[in-house]
Amino acid sequence: MFFVIFFSIYFGAHAYLGTRLVPLLAGKVHWALPTFALLFLALVFPAARPLKNRGWVEAGQWAEVVGTYWMGTFLLLVVALLAVEILTLGGFVFRTHAPAFRAGSLGLGLLLALIAMVQARRAPEITRYDLVVPTLRAEDEGKQIAVLTDLHLGDRLNAEWLQRIIDQTASLRPAAILLGGDIIDHDPRPVRAMVSTLRQFSAPLGVFAVTGNHEYYAGEQEAAALLRDAGFTLVRNARVPLLPGVTLVGVDDLTIATQSGHSAEGLLTPLLTRGAQESLLLLTHSPLGLEAAAAAGVTASFSGHTHNGQIWPFNWFVRTRFKYVYGHYQIGQLQAFVSRGVGTWGPRMRLWSPGEMVLITLRRPVAQ
């Protein structure tokens, strides 16, 4: 049912774009040219995976690149056109100027798409936070944790891009690296060739990872084996010591769990019991169940998944789905951090939502 609704909207929006684009080009090109161009572009994206599955890997990769870039551009074109529809009430006001407004909106959409492509190629920003950990030892004061989410490795975000991310992370000299899921985009095959590169992620306390929803799309067991082969400590609904008095709790993706009928709170609560001299740090791909973590006395949580919408204005749509979308939140005593993510999903485009690494500096409580 989801795919029926999705593709009904998808092809319907292409038809809408065609009804606005074809009249603008009347007298300049034959109507069939923009019509069949739009039909071709609409079909490229859904054709990518079937092409790969049939063994036409290169054709599938080409279709995926073209299709995803078109998807991002198409969405911005439709948003720009809808803004004009609202301004002109569908052409009923400013009737004589409506065609020019529509042409201008298409130009604006293309410009925004170009800006988004440029912004996605910039190195991720480093967002720094101090985190007070009640049970932190004096000798661990000032140690730093790098949190990277949503790498989405695959055909588009490849080994060359990954190497730049590894080098940038290494330049921060973190004591530990936390990888917050969606390390693999959806196809493990190109990522399998990156294992030797992934092994270059290194930190004195270790490199820890949890699964995201895309690890499930890639095949849960194969993705988990790949991440372990990369040398990561994969924390699946478990607890591991990070420092004396500080425990890392990692959970499998809660979005997948909730879609399977489980509650985030029910899955988290059994993992979050703590001793009197113990602080818990929670690594969870999706920012769900954070109130339960706060109630259990967790010190901090680290999440991603939302990308803060990735391409404006879709951050507003994400806010209808998630309560905690991006940045730092205080929920009771819990310090919750939600990252925009390092990589991109779908098109390699980001508009006003740049990629991000989070660098946490551990602090002891101030003596009273």
How far is residue 322 CA from its own chain's centroid? 13
Determine contact, residues 182/212, Cβ cutoff 8 Å.
Answer: yes
- Alpha-carbon gap, residue 102 to 81, rounded angstroms: 6
- The angle, 0 to 180 degrees and rounded to 10, between the axes of the packed helices 2-24 and 57-88 is 70
Q: Which amino acid is at 261?
A: G
Identify the CATH number of the domain defined by range 125-363: 3.60.21.10
Determine contact, residues 285/321, Cβ cutoff 8 Å.
Answer: no
Each residue of 103-161: pLDDT tens digit? 999 999 999 999 999 999 999 999 999 999 999 999 999 999 999 999 999 988 999 99
- Alpha-carbon gap, residue 164 to 175, rounded angstroms: 19
Q: Where are the domains of the chain?
A: 2-120, 125-363
Each residue of 34-55: pLDDT tens digit? 899 999 999 998 888 898 888 8
Q: 0.95 cut: is pTM over it?
A: no
C-alpha neighbours within 13 Å on the C-beta side of residue 58: 0
Looking up tokens 């806010």, which residue turns up? 319
**pLDDT higher at 302 or 255:** 302
Peptide bond into 365 cis (omega under 30): no
- Alpha-carbon gap, residue 186 to 354, rounded angstroms: 22
Written as one string, the DSSP assignment of 308-364 is: GGSBTTHHHHHHHH-S--SEEEEETTEEEEE---SS-SSSS--BS---EEEEEEEEP
Query: Does residue 368 have a pLDDT over 60?
Result: no
First to last CA, the chain: 58
User: Per-residue pLDDT averaged across 241-270, rounded?
Assistant: 90
**pLDDT higher at 257 or 114:** 114
Per-residue model confidence (pLDDT) at position 264:
86
- Alpha-carbon gap, residue 349 to 331, rounded angstroms: 32
Beta pairing class for 334-338 and 327-331? antiparallel
- Alpha-carbon gap, residue 322 to 335, rounded angstroms: 17
Nearest CA among 366, 360, 361 for reference residue 180: 360
Looking up tokens 């400013």, which residue turns up? 94
Q: Is 56 exposed, middle or buried (0-12, 13-18, 19+ CB in 10 A)?
A: middle
